[in-house]
């Protein structure tokens, strides 16, 4: 009887050990399965993140290209070009009663104006200089003139220069002209140079009175001389 009891205990012990081994094996399999699922899940998340960031990278490059193109457009040169015979005819229609100074009239590319015509003209009966921007057969802008020249007689326009302002992408316009003060005026017997300097401000041009007066006082006669004062 005792021998049978010992044999039964041995079988029970072996059964318990076997159950423990099976339980451990199942746990390990479960852990491996969870680890595999976690690995797959992490891959999916990583894939989703990479997928979501790719369009942003493309979009950033596209925006950079657009910004670069916009910058190049804004800093484009004025590119003055002599007027064609057709443009001269249009200008004469827009400036009825004024004498076009064709030698110094140009088609120019200006910020906020686009391609437009810069046109100087002589007005009468008192000889006066008029400066205009003309587009689509209409006067878009009339340049202000220095107060001093209102009483002087305009003789001729010698030179016109266009330059880009690197700070605001606007255009600077510099002119050299000759005037005669008339009987009793300062230096009335001799013509004298009058330089004018304009700064662009959005869709208009302003006479830089301080610089213009300095150029007149110094009797600057050429664009090169005027540039030395501006620099």
pLDDT-based confidence at 229, cuts 50/70/90?
A: confident
pLDDT-based confidence at 113, cuts 50/70/90?
A: very high
What pLDDT, on the 0 to 100 scale, is given for residue 165?
82
Closest CA to 181 of 159, 207, 150, 158: 150
Edge-to-edge strands, sheet with 153-164: 153-164, 171-180, 192-201, 204-207
pLDDT-based confidence at 54, cuts 50/70/90?
A: very low
What pLDDT, on the 0 to 100 scale, is given for residue 41?
47
Instruction: Give the range among 54-68, 83-97, 99-113 with minimum mean pLDDT.
Output: 54-68
pLDDT in tens, 149-164: 888 899 999 999 999 8
Closest CA to 116 of 71, 70, 162, 168: 162
pLDDT-based confidence at 187, cuts 50/70/90?
A: low
Instruction: Give the range among 29-43, 94-108, 182-196 with minimum mean pLDDT.
Output: 29-43
Contact assessment for residue 160 and residue 106, using Cβ atoms and an 8 Å cutoff: yes
65-83 mean pLDDT: 60
Q: Could you tell me which residue, 169 or 58, shows the higher pLDDT? A: 169
Helix (H, G, I), strand (E, B) or coil at 45: helix
What DSSP string describes 57-111?
A: HHHHHHHHHHHHHHHHHHT-----EEPPHHHHHHHHHHTTTSEE-GGG-EEEEET
Q: How far apart are CA 60 and CA 103, in angstroms?
A: 48
Q: Average pLDDT of the chain? A: 76
Tokens 């030698």 -> residue: 103
172-187 mean pLDDT: 82
19 preceded by cis ω (within 30°)? no
What pLDDT, on the 0 to 100 scale, is given for residue 161?
95
Beta-strand runs (E) in the chain: 81-82, 99-100, 106-110, 114-123, 128-135, 138-142, 153-164, 171-180, 192-201, 204-207
Residue 176 has pLDDT above 60, yes or no: yes
């Amino acid at each position: 009887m005792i021998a049978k009891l010992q044999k039964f205990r041995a079988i029970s012990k072996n059964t318990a050990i076997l159950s423990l081994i099976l339980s451990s094996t199942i746990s390990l399999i479960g852990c491996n399965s969870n680890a595999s699922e976690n690995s797959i899940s992490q891959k999916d998340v990583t894939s989703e993140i990479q997928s979501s960031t790719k369009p942003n990278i493309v979009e950033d490059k596209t925006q950079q290209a657009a910004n670069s193109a916009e910058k190049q457009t804004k800093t484009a040169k004025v590119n003055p070009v002599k007027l064609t015979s057709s443009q001269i005819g249009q200008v004469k229609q827009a400036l009825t009663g004024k004498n076009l100074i064709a030698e110094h009239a140009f088609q120019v590319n200006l910020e906020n104006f686009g391609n437009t015509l810069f046109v100087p003209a002589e007005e009468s009966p008192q000889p006066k200089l008029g400066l205009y921007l003309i587009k689509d057969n209409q006067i878009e802008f009339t340049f202000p003139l220095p107060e001093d020249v209102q009483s002087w007689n305009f003789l001729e326009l010698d030179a016109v220069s266009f330059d880009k302002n690197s700070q605001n992408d606007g255009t600077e316009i510099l002119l050299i002209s000759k005037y005669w003060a008339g009987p009793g005026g300062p230096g009335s017997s001799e013509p004298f140079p009058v330089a004018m300097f304009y700064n662009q401000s959005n869709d208009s041009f302003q006479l830089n009175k301080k610089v213009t007066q300095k150029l007149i006082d110094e009797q600057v006669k050429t664009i090169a001389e005027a540039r030395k004062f501006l620099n």
